Amino acid sequence: MPHSLSGLKNVLVVMNEEGQGERSAALAYGLSLAQAAQAHVTVQAGTVKLDLPSARGSSVVAGMVAAENRRLRELATRIADESRAEAAMAGVICETDATQLDYAHLKARALAQARVNDVTIVDADPSVLTIDGGLLRTVLFDSGRPSIVVPKGCDAFAADRIVVAWDGSASASRAVASAMPFLRAASEVEVVCYIGEKDLSDSAAGADLAAALVRHDVNVSAKELAAGGDVARRLCEQVGLIRADMIVMGAFVHSPVREWLFGGVTQSMLKTTPVPLFMAR
């Protein structure tokens, strides 16, 4: 029998206000998750402080930069206020941090908070050129804690059906271990192992993982599928077939310059996932 969602006490939502004022899926999802888990939620609604060297020699340009920084601060403050109000209505304890810092210090602040929370919720943004993409990579690869990457449109937490993408790697193992509260609470978990995408001869099979999860009272099945040259596409198809609410997978990076290059499947999933990705590295 599925268990209630337990063992999750601290949820962090990290988002960056870039000036568009768009509704963050991560924020709505994080508040919904905190309500379901009866967890404390921290919302970091940061914004990058603009500092143009050319503005220092022109009072007109300096005034424009100051006005834009003020507008961004006001947007971040509004998000923080709305978050507290929504959390109060949901019966969730919420603290907020609406700060304006340069990019490096904003990332450092997010990383520091991610390391003391059980899970960090971020908006999906696979681009290496955006601020949100940089925040995502920082908390995912450097925090030592799991993250849930939320695509647009996924505003409410759900984890009744979960797909586990299993390749026997250390990152996949850490993702499964970190996701145990969700796996135990789910009514159906499917472990999927794609054959032919990489050499798995020395890895634990998906059936081995399923057998171990059964002893944790997880209602789980295992399936081996041909990779077919595009694991991300096949994984998304499998999610649709069982109407999964979440994917659990390890995050992988091919390049040692991890600020700039995710692994192929990871990058593809960040671009195309139809449901939130629970990821660990």
Sketch the domain layout of the chain as residue ranges: 10-150, 161-280
How confident is the model at residue 41, as a pLDDT?
Answer: 97
CATH number 3.40.50.970 given to 10-150: no
Query: Residue 238 and residue 165: Cα distance in Å, rounded?
Result: 10
CA dihedral 268, 271, 277, 281 (to 10 degrees): 50
The confidence score (pLDDT) of residue 265 equals 79
pTM of the model: 0.89
Q: What is the mean pLDDT of residues 44-55?
A: 80
Domain 10-150 matches domain 161-280 at the CATH topology level: yes
- As given in the structure block, the two tokens for residue 194 are 């794609």
Amino acid 280: pLDDT: 92
Mean pLDDT of 256-267: 56
Give the amino acid at 49: K
Q: Which DSSP letter does residue 11 get?
A: E
Residue-wise pLDDT tens digits, 129-138: 455 667 888 8
The CATH superfamily of 161-280 is HUPs (3.40.50.620)
Q: Tokens at residue 33, please? A: 């998750």
Note the pLDDT of residue 268: 82
Is 86 a residue whose pLDDT tops 50?
Answer: yes
Digit-coded pLDDT (tens) for 203-252: 788 999 999 999 999 999 999 887 766 888 889 999 999 999 999 999 87
What is the DSSP-derived secondary structure letter of residue 56? Answer: G
- Given this model, what pLDDT does residue 108 score? 93
DSSP character at residue 164: E
Over residues 36-62, the mean pLDDT reads 83
